[in-house]
Chains A and B, each alone.
Chain A
Amino acid sequence: DARVTQTPRHKVTEMGQEVTMRCQPILGHNTVFWYRQTMMQGLELLAYFRNRAPLDDSGMPKDRFSAEMPDATLATLKIQPSEPRDSAVYFCASGLVEAQLGTGELFFGEGSRLTVL
């Protein structure tokens, strides 16, 4: 049963600490997304990759957030230093975007719930 796997599921940390969230996309998917979900803002796109190349990270605060895809089986989202306002659920999602159609169904992981004290 193919699924997107995220770790950790829950993280509580203190302000100023570094946080790294990891995602294993579904094998064969060529596009990986990072979303942040809060009650106020809903699902916000932070960054996404196509064939491991970053396509758009304009949704991320550049001074503290970074997203990478070191290989096809791993995507990471790092926050350094973390702040209380970063508290949210962070979702990774992957999909297979067909070149001709330019769109594709997106499959989400279970999320990483981050609390920054």
Chain B
Amino acid sequence: DAMVIQNPRYQVTQFGKPVTLSCSQTLNHNVMYWYQQKSSQAPKLLFHYYDKDFNNEADTPDNFQSRRPNTSFCFLDIRSPGLGDAAMYLCATTPEGAGEQYFGPGTRLTVT
């Protein structure tokens, strides 16, 4: 059974056209994360939510925003995608604190 679901799996958007990626979880975990992973690189943490408490990484561009309307769902909004934003975007969850993160399958974003 899928525990962390990401939609869509593949997303193509045009340069500058806003795009939203979604993540949902059936684990009832308090913490949800968004990572950006470019080819041959490590996942880079963009931000995370502890319940409704939003935590932005210092080097995450303002172009990236996030929403968490409830425990199950979290969205990543890219306001004006650039070519450099093409990447795999991974959502992950954890109950709380330092522990195993459960990753979704990722959304591969292409910017044309």
Partners in one complex: no
A→B interface (CB under 8 Å): none
